[in-house]
Amino acid sequence: MKSAFTVLFAALAVAAGIQTALAHHSSAGFSEGTKVVAGTVKEFQFRNPHSWIQINVTDESGKVTEWSVEWGSPNQLGRDGIRPSTFPAGTQITIKLRPDLSGHPIGIFVGAKMSDGKIVGKWSDE
């Protein structure tokens, strides 16, 4: 049941992920490849025109960097099952994103893996 839910949720969110192409800007500044970062959700801004997932990532030296991960609009994501409660503050998550080419801690959302293994968006490379 859980796996069925996960697949369904992932499928819906993949559809939602397509909407990342609706960012205000060209995709020229973002890598075609993906990067994985793990951290703690600081805030999920479920607002127009685009949602943002803020996560604090701690490196080996203990330095904390806040990443800004851009996603679709609440109207689009809401119809695909995403809610403001999807990424509660304080939750440990791993996010796959298309990183900003200039090296700033910014990315376009691809997928997320929750601590219980639940997938949101696209995680596999298939």
Partner 1 sequence: MTTRFVTGLALFASFLMAPARSYPQTPTLTPFDKLPDWSGTWAMTGGTVFDRATQTGKGGTIDPGVREHPPYNAVYEKKYAEHLKLRDADRYPDVQTNCGVPSGFPRILNLPDAYEFVVRPDVFYIIAENGGNTMRVYTDGRKLPGKEDTWGTYTGVSVGHWEGDTLVWQTVGLKGDRDNDSILDRTGLVLSDEAKITTRLRKIDAQTLEAQMAIEDPKALTKTWNVTKQFKKGKPGLFLYDYGCAENNRNPVDPATGQTHTLGSDGKLIK
Q: Which residues bind partner 1 (CB under 8 A)?
A: 18-19, 21-29, 42-43, 45, 47-50, 52, 54, 66, 68, 70, 73-76, 78-79, 100, 102, 104-106
Between 6 and 45, whose beta carbon lies closer to partner 1? 45
Q: Which element (helix H / strand E) includes 8? A: helix 2-17
Task: From residue 83, give the alpha-carbon distance in Å to each of 41, 47, 78, 91.
Answer: 15, 11, 6, 15
CB closer to partner 1 out of 29 and 35: 29
Of residues 52 and 118, the one with the C-beta less far from partner 1: 52
SS3 (DSSP) at 5: helix
